[in-house]
Amino acid sequence: MTKLDIVTNAARMVAPGKGILAADESTGTITKRLDTIDVPSTEDNRRDYRQLLFTTESASDYISGVILYDETLRQSGSDGVPFSKLLWDKGILPGIKVDTGAKDLAGSAGEKVTEGLDGLRERLAEYVELGAAFTKWRAVIEIGAGMPSRACLEANAHALARYAALSQEAGLVPIVEPEVLMDGGHDIERCAEVTEAALQLTFQELFSQNVVLEGMVLKPNMVVPGKHCGQQNSVAEVAEMTVKVLRRHVPGAVPGIAFLSGGQSEVEATAHLNAMNSLGEMPWQLSFSYGRALQASALQAWRGSADNVPAAQAALAHRARMNGLARRGEYSENMEQDAA
């Protein structure tokens, strides 16, 4: 494969009306998801589930890229066609999660730093040969008593930037994901404060590592109160606070921001995205990179049965369409009832 144009592909990933399907669950995580529907987590079952997602007929109308796990990038469908080729043929860019997970940060009890830089250059070269067009690396930042520390924020920002530089060197678009978790009892103002600190340090490191901003995609959390906070904010308040934080810290050269859903329900994630895209013109595309918020209904509809594949694909197609409309600020919750 020739060296990819990272600027062109970054723009494709956040094309108007489209977003990214996160199907990069590790074997441990996908096993937990399959356990909820009483389906054994065998390699064949994992492949069959991912295949139904990737072969959903109308997906390419609303999905610009799919993040894969290492196992999935190496798999082929039941017809023998590699998943990466299947996606390219549908006009969908295949990507790959390249970090090796969040590990305990030495000297900071309870905090995490994401690892995976050792040997990354060589792995990226292999992923290019396997058909990948972009990469993803997730940093995990928790809010709690005395957390996050400056050390945690700096360590994760530095790792994100080094990963991004290596990805671009290989011709791959890096998705840079500094996730402030919505676990905990903090309010929306505290989430905003921590998100601002994480974004500020991340972009400082990206500049230091000479990352081409036009050839990356940012995948941040939305600014929301913690799940255990007594005061939950309206959709409009979340949208306004999130955009305010992004305007302060994300350079306009970044082509797009693809939000993670972070434990929100399918409808919540879509409604928040729609509200942000209803606030007027932005310096960047406001898109989505959802996992559970695109897959939850499809997984429940499938339940491991080939007979249920059409229903599962219909569920995915509906969620993809709803988020495609939210990309344009044209979604309403009435559309959920109309499809029921």
Instruction: Establish whether 85 is a catalytic residue.
Output: no
Instruction: Give the integer Cα–Cα distance in Å for 299 and 293.
Output: 11
Instruction: Establish whether 142 is a catalytic residue.
Output: no
Whether the bond between 148 and the residue before it is cis, its omega within 30 degrees of 0, is yes
Instruction: Say which DSSP state 215 is in.
Output: G
Determine the residue type at 243: V
DSSP codes joined into one string, 297-333: HHHHHHTT-GGGHHHHHHHHHHHHHHHHHHTTT---T
As a whole number, the mean pLDDT across the chain is 95
Give the pLDDT band (50/70/90) at residue 231: confident
Considering only 95-109, 114-128, 223-237, 258-272, which range has the smallest mean pLDDT? Answer: 223-237
Give the model's pLDDT for residue 338.
Answer: 64
Give the model's pLDDT for residue 60.
Answer: 86
Give the model's pLDDT for residue 227.
Answer: 85
Instruction: Give the integer Cα–Cα distance in Å for 3 and 122.
Output: 15
Identify the active-site residue in 177, 179, 205, 266.
Answer: 177
State pLDDT tens for residues 66-104: 999 999 999 999 999 999 999 999 999 999 999 999 999
CA 20 from chain center: how many Å? Answer: 7
Tokens 């798999």 identify what position?
Answer: 75
Instruction: Say which DSSP state 182 is in.
Output: -
Contact 175, 67 (CB under 8 A): yes
Give the model's pLDDT for residue 235.
Answer: 95
Contact 300, 37 (CB under 8 A): yes
Give the model's pLDDT for residue 3.
Answer: 44
Bridge partners, 135 (sequence order): 96, 174
Helices (H), the chain: 6-13, 27-35, 43-54, 70-73, 83-89, 120-129, 150-169, 188-208, 235-249, 266-277, 292-302, 309-326, 334-339
pTM of the complete model beyond 0.85: yes
State pLDDT tens for residues 13-62: 999 999 999 999 999 999 999 999 999 999 999 999 999 999 999 888 99
Statement: residue 131 has pLDDT above 90? yes
Give the pLDDT band (50/70/90) at residue 232: confident
Bridge partners, 114 (sequence order): 102
Statement: residue 4 has pLDDT above 80? no
Give the model's pLDDT for residue 1.
Answer: 35
% of the chain beyond a pLDDT of 90: 89
% of the chain beyond a pLDDT of 70: 98
State pLDDT tens for residues 133-143: 999 999 999 99
Q: What CATH architecture is 6-339?
A: Alpha-Beta Barrel (3.20)
Helices (H), 266-308: 266-277, 292-302
Give the model's pLDDT for residue 339.
Answer: 60
Identify the active-site residue in 25, 205, 219, 266.
Answer: 219
Determine the residue type at 166: L
Tokens 């011709």 identify what position?
Answer: 171
Statement: residue 340 has pLDDT above 70? no
State pLDDT tens for residues 134-172: 999 999 999 998 999 999 999 999 999 999 999 999 999
